Chain A
Amino acid sequence: MKLRVLYFARLRERLGCAEETLDCAGSTVADLVSLLQARGGVWAEELATGRAYRVAVNQDIVALDAALTENAEVAIFPPVTGG
């Protein structure tokens, strides 16, 4: 399915990408993360198991087993530090 993926803050800088549109064969957030990890390099490093990052689907923070939907807006970002 087609997804719009956004990256923020330290991850955006480290991955060198603010936004992309991609096709994901899987149906969960974990499938998308696997697809991104398979790119190797900083992608594999930053999204490795145990690294602290958050994922939001359509602007709600979700767990890795959450379902993806066609044309969903997915965002991947570091733990938040506002306030």
Chain B
Amino acid sequence: MKIVVQSEAFELGAEVDALRRGRTDIGAIASFVGLARDMNDGSDVAAMTLEHYPGMTEKALAALVEDAQSRWTLLDVTLIHRVGRLLPGDPIVLVVVAGSHRGEAFAACEFIMDYLKTRAPFWKKEETPEGERWVEARASDDAAAMRWGKT
């Protein structure tokens, strides 16, 4: 299990290699990488800054991975979320889930992202030609998290 909040970039291949190194029991690895986009809500985005709540963030991420583990049999999980100033194209978040079969790996990977979107204390501020603006939460993210049912 690896859960990290960091300002540095991460590399998908290196994280997958680290997770599976020396193991032959893993049958499936599902991963998700979220990237910073150059456009949002009709405006060009030159950069974004991710703020978080140190202490609670780590606790919230650990809780949602634990929740995933109570729903599916998982062999390992890596979850990395970046903070600080990011440019379009930069990776923001990484989820890697290893399981015996693809079903639980796919499901848990999507579940972790859906829950992260509504429960982990991160906030994005975008730099646009009209000035800086805080990103508003989306109702579609709440709906995505809701479909997994109550914990």
- Residues of chain A having any CB pair with chain B under 8 Å: 6, 8-10, 52, 56, 59-61, 75, 77-83
Q: State whether A78 touches B123 (Cβ < 8 A).
A: yes
Q: State whether A81 touches B123 (Cβ < 8 A).
A: yes
Instruction: Place the interface of chain B in its size category.
Output: 20 to 34
Most A CB atoms within 10 A — which of B53, B81, B123, B136? B123
Q: Which of B90-115 contact A (CB under 8 A)?
A: 92-93, 113
Q: State whether A59 touches B118 (Cβ < 8 A).
A: no
- Residues of chain B having any CB pair with chain A under 8 Å: 34, 50-53, 55-56, 59-60, 81, 92-93, 113, 116-125, 134-137
Contacts A75-B56, A80-B123 hold; do A8 and B51 have CB atoms under 8 A apart? yes
With a CB–CB cut-off of 8 A, which chain B residues contact A61? 119
Q: State whether A75 touches B53 (Cβ < 8 A).
A: yes
With a CB–CB cut-off of 8 A, which chain B residues contact A9? 51, 123, 125, 134
Q: State whether A80 touches B121 (Cβ < 8 A).
A: yes
Q: State whether B135 touches A83 (Cβ < 8 A).
A: no
With a CB–CB cut-off of 8 A, which chain B residues contact A56? 53, 56, 121
Q: B53 contacts which of A6, A10, A79 (Cβ < 8 Å)?
A: A6
Contacts A9-B125, A56-B56, A78-B123 hold; do A83 and B134 have CB atoms under 8 A apart? no
Give the nearest-CB partner of A83 in chain B.
Answer: B117
Contacts A8-B51, A8-B53, A59-B56 hold; do A78 and B120 have CB atoms under 8 A apart? no
Q: State whether A82 touches B59 (Cβ < 8 A).
A: no
Q: State whether A79 touches B137 (Cβ < 8 A).
A: yes
**Shortest CB–CB separation between residue A14 and chain B, in angstroms?**
9
With a CB–CB cut-off of 8 A, which chain B residues contact A83? 34, 81, 92-93, 113, 116-117, 120, 122
